[in-house]
Amino acid sequence: MHGNGSASPRPLAIEARGLIKRFDGFTAVDGVDLSVPEGAVYGILGPNGAGKTTTLRMLLGIIDPDEGYRRVLGADRPHDVAHTIGYLPEERGLYPAMKAVDAIAFVGALRGLPLKEGRRRGRELLEQHGLGYAADRQIRQLSKGMAQQVQILGTLVHKPRLVVFDEPFSGLDAINQGKLERMMRGLAEDGTTVIFSTHVIAHAERLCDDVAIIAGGKVPFAGPVDVARDRIPAQVRLETRSGDGPWRAALPADLRRDGKSDGGAFWYFPLPETGIEPLLRALIEGEAGILSLSIERAGLHDAFVAIAGEAAARALEEESPEEMRR
């Protein structure tokens, strides 16, 4: 694997090199390199079983890598900076008998925040997110989605510099997914580094500056989203009145060769390195009867397929077909 990394001048919140983790002879993570700049929203994409959670657990010091090293917020041992990290695990859980505000304060206390201050901030956060009325309700009295929101707030109560979310959108409805996306953007704007894993590419595409694609325990790509997209050349889409007319003879030879028709009114051409102008000129001169002409850049999903392979993309779609469609 290798991530080409962004040429970001920002210092790194997370730097990992050659992380390997084996369980009973099974290599769950196989040489992962990551560079997450401070203040970035960083996505880790991959299907279940790809090694996302194991990678995050190694970054957080929950488990140690068998090989390789990681540096988190400048510390070689992540627990040394645990008070500046927030973590939402994939398997959510809070004490059912605890009140929402106490649950938030308890998670803060684990990160070094005094309980009293944790309760004060907990109430404040619940109010800010429209859950003030539930502050004194026990977790078992809340809906699953509300409990999840309480846990997310617990992740943030101690004002961490780095927040790690493992599959944060699963279990949330569309409205709350939107809220969470806004919250993540807000955190990054305040300088907090946000790293999250997901198997829903749309979230990563909307939120992330950089992504790492994990498949089979390896990272075939890590870097800016735009660089991932650029792995697939952009193309020009032409809609014309005369599907296959004399205008084609006016095209430059390479475009005439590489252009593909959908059998109807649409034609697709690779975007020339010199830009769209020569194509446009030829179309006008050939009187192609242009109805529409646009440059189409690849989406992150296409990039994912190109980078991780069809199998990984299929595995991703099998896990959450509805979310993929959304």
Q: Which stretch binds other proteins (CB under 8 A): 46-54, 184-192, 266-274, 276-284?
A: 46-54
Of 110, 174, 234, 291, the one binding other proteins by CB under 8 A: 110
Q: Are residues 100 and 135 in contact, defined by beta-carbon separation less than 8 angstroms?
A: yes
Beta strand pairing call for 162-166 and 260-261 = unpaired
44 binds other proteins (CB under 8 A): no
> 186-225: which residues touch other proteins (CB under 8 A)?
213, 215-218, 220-221
Q: Which of 112, 145, 186, 321 binds other proteins (CB under 8 A)?
A: 112
61 binds other proteins (CB under 8 A): yes
- Which bin fits 49, alpha (ψ -120 to 50), beta or left (φ > 0)? left
Residue from 10, 11, 67, 97 touching other proteins (CB under 8 A): that is 97
Q: How far is Cα 152 from Cα 120, in angstroms, rounded to an integer?
A: 16
Q: Which is nearer to other proteins, 35 or 84 (CB)?
A: 84
Q: Which of 7, 91, 143, 325 binds other proteins (CB under 8 A)?
A: 91
Q: Which residues contact 190 (CB under 8 A, 6 or more apart)?
A: none
136 binds other proteins (CB under 8 A): no
Where b means 16+ CB within 10 Å and e means fewer, 185-200 reads eebbeeebbbbbbbbb
Binding residues for other proteins restricted to 143-172, rule: CB under 8 A? 151, 154, 158-159
What is 88-138 written as a DSSP string? Answer: E-SS----TTSBHHHHHHHHHHHTT--HHHHHHHHHHHHHHTT-GGGTTSB
Of the candidate spans 19-27, 179-187, 203-211, 285-293, the one that interacts with other proteins by CB under 8 A turns out to be 19-27
Positions 224 through 243 that interact with other proteins (CB under 8 A): 231
The pair of structure tokens assigned to 88 is 């939402």
Task: Single out the segment in contact with other proteins by CB under 8 A; choices: 80-88, 174-182, 233-241, 281-289.
Answer: 80-88
* Token pair belonging to 281: 């000129």
Interacting residue with other proteins among 16, 28, 195, 298 (CB under 8 A): 28
